[in-house]
Structures are given as structure tokens and as C-alpha cells.
Amino acid sequence: MTSIFKFVKLYVLILIDSIKMDINNPHDKYFKEVFTQIEPARSFVENYLPSEITPFIDSSSLEIMKDSFVSKELKEFYSDVLYKVDMEGENGYIYILMDHKSYPDKAVSFQMLKYKFLIWEKVIKGNRNWKELPMVIPLVFYHGKEKWNIQTNFSDIVNVSNESLKKYVLNYEYILCDLTVYSDKEIIGHVLLRLVMFTFKHIFDSRSEWLRNLSKLIKSLEDLSKHKSGLSALETFLKYFMSEADLDHETVKDIVIETFSEPGGKTFMTAAEELKLIGKKEGIREGIEKGIEKGIEKGIEKGIEKGIEKEKVEIAKKMLSKGSNHDFISEMTGLSDEEIEKLIDN
């Protein structure tokens, strides 16, 4: 096992120790951390909206709006994101409400209607010369324990049976993305999107099921490790499921150690190459200055070492901010007490 590869495993183990289990609204934080990134957002629009409407939506025009319309009282049950997007050349919006209760809720239809009004109100207040309201496509993202068994038409929750009166009933339909009906193989799209959807799909599984899923999931993250944000995405994932799946730090660390061992550990070699590349660039610069081929080779080696040392310092700083003691930091990073003290002074 190379020193760089050991370092990547070390990073993950330190990361696990730094995770606090008392995260407020973990569903909301995990959902928004992924769905407010442009690539996963576009991937969701392209892969999970009904096929009859995707041809009319220009996903390349997608903008992530910072507005949230869920009140503080309801944040325990809902998260939301709003996308601005071109629909046949006109501005429109896709509004996604994440329902993270463990059961279907009729009130969602009413909540979505209220949020549509709030979006339109914002448009009207922002443009006194408005002529028409923009299209707002509502979508409910659900990951409860049981299948969604409620009609998606708003009129179905209005008490009216007389045909003459029905024309006075406001009606609309929301799109439903119910993760309970998707198999693991049917979860597709951008690697970050797949990760969050897989996690939400299985978050209510039993502890023993999660133990099996965790090892399987980490081994399958080869694509994730190819992205610059791969380790960051892994951090987000670990924070969420450790707070929800009732898994303690030591259990997760044991699974990671086992998973990162050969041959499964090769999964994260590409992520390790990012560290190598940092060092390689420094080494090439140093070698060029010396002007000889051997100097370049030696410079690359020194550059790699410098890159690793820099990352060790960053991890040590993070551990200090989390309150880790010096002995543990020294054990995990290889830094001396003097080096750690210098970090405190700086």
C-alpha cells in the first residue's frame, strides 16, 4: 500500500472522528448540500422529471435560487430547493419539496400550492411591469418507509361532488419522485445524485442492513473518487448517515478500515492521485529550475512529499479545531508536538 493511499485512508478515519452525532435537521443539510450543486441538480432534472416534459426544458440554463419557502415550524418535515430554468424559451421554475417523513401526507398538496403562490408573489413584487406569471413545476421528493398512496391532484383533497361546482375548484398536479418504487439499479445520474438518492432510499433500513450497505456503498464509489469533490461528498455522506442510521464511530471506522484494505481499497486510488498531482506540479517546477532530467524526477518525488505534508497540516488544523488532543493528532498525522504547537501559534 503506497504512502499516498495510506494517507487517503487516514483522512477518512480522522474525518469520522470529527463528526458530531447531534446534527440539527440532517435530512435538510444533506439534501441541500447536494441539490444546490449545479451538476447534480441538472442530472436530477434530466433523469427524474417525466419524459413528456423534459424536451421542453433547457437544463443547461438551470440556475439555483437561494430562496426557501418552508417555514421554521415545518423544516423538521420538509426541505426545498428552487431552480430557475428556460421552458421553451421562457423563464420558468422547478420547485422541489422534499418530504422526509416516514409516511405519505395529504397536506403536501396544500403545502405545494401555498409555495407556488409565494413564488409568484415574489415574481410580482420584483417586477411591477409583469404581464404573465411564470410556469412553476412542483415536484415532491419522497423517501418514507411506505409507498406513496395519495393522489397527486389538488382537487382530490377538496370536498366537492357536484359537477356544477367543480369548475370553481382550483386544481393542479405535482410530480412525485417516490424513492420507495426505485430499485438500486434504477437510481441513475450524476455520481453525487446517486449517492444522495441511495442514502435517502435506505436511511430507514435496520442497523444490520446499513452495516451491509455501508461496505457495499464505499466499495462502489470509484466514480465518486474521480471527482475533485469526491472526498467532500464522502464527508457529507458520512455525516448524514451516522446521525440517522444509529452507527457509532468505532463501528464505521472498522468498516472503513476493512473496505480500504486491498483489493477494495483500490477504489480510492484515483482520489489519492489528486494528492500526487499536487506534489507532481511542485516537483516539475523545482526540476525545471535545476534544468536537468534527474532533477525533475527528484523534484517530483520531493513535490509529492511536500503535497502530502501540506495535507497533513490541514488535517491537523481541522483536528485542533475539533478539540482533538496532541497525542492523537501526532499519532494520526505523524507531526511532532513542536509542529503541532506551531499550528496553534499561527
What tens digit of pLDDT does each residue of 298-331 get?
554 555 466 567 767 877 787 777 677 777 677 6
- Asked whether the CA dihedral 236, 239, 241, 244 is positive or negative, the reply is negative
Q: Please indicate, yes or no, whether residues 234 and 289 belong to a single structural domain of this protein.
A: no
Cα end-to-end distance, the chain, whole Å: 33
- Domain end: 213, 235, 266, which one? 266
Amino acid identity of residue 224, one-letter, is L
Cα angle vertex 277, ends 276, 281, to 5°? 120
153: left (phi over 0), alpha (psi -120 to 50) or beta: beta
As given in the structure block, the three cell numbers for residue 190 are 450524476
- Domain end: 266, 301, 321, which one? 266
> What is the rounded CA–CA span in Å between residue 238 and residue 277?
26
Q: Please indicate, yes or no, whether residues 216 and 105 belong to a single structural domain of this protein.
A: yes
> What is the rounded CA–CA span in Å between residue 91 and residue 266?
46
pTM: 0.68
Phi, psi of 123 (to 5 degrees): -65, -45
3-state SS, residue 93: strand
Domain of 53, in residue numbers: 3-266
Q: Which of 21-35, 131-145, 155-169 has the lowest mean pLDDT?
A: 21-35
3-state SS, residue 221: coil
Q: What is the pLDDT of residues 249-259, one digit of tens each?
A: 777 777 666 66
64 closest CA partner among 33, 88, 89, 103: 33
As given in the structure block, the three cell numbers for residue 336 are 511532532
Q: Which of 159-173, 195-209, 247-261, 269-283 has the lowest mean pLDDT?
A: 269-283
- Domain end: 214, 238, 266, which one? 266
Q: Please indicate, yes or no, whether residues 63 and 153 belong to a single structural domain of this protein.
A: yes
Whole-number pLDDT of residue 246: 64
Whole-number pLDDT of residue 230: 59
User: Which residues, in sequence order, are bridge partners of residue 78?
Assistant: 99
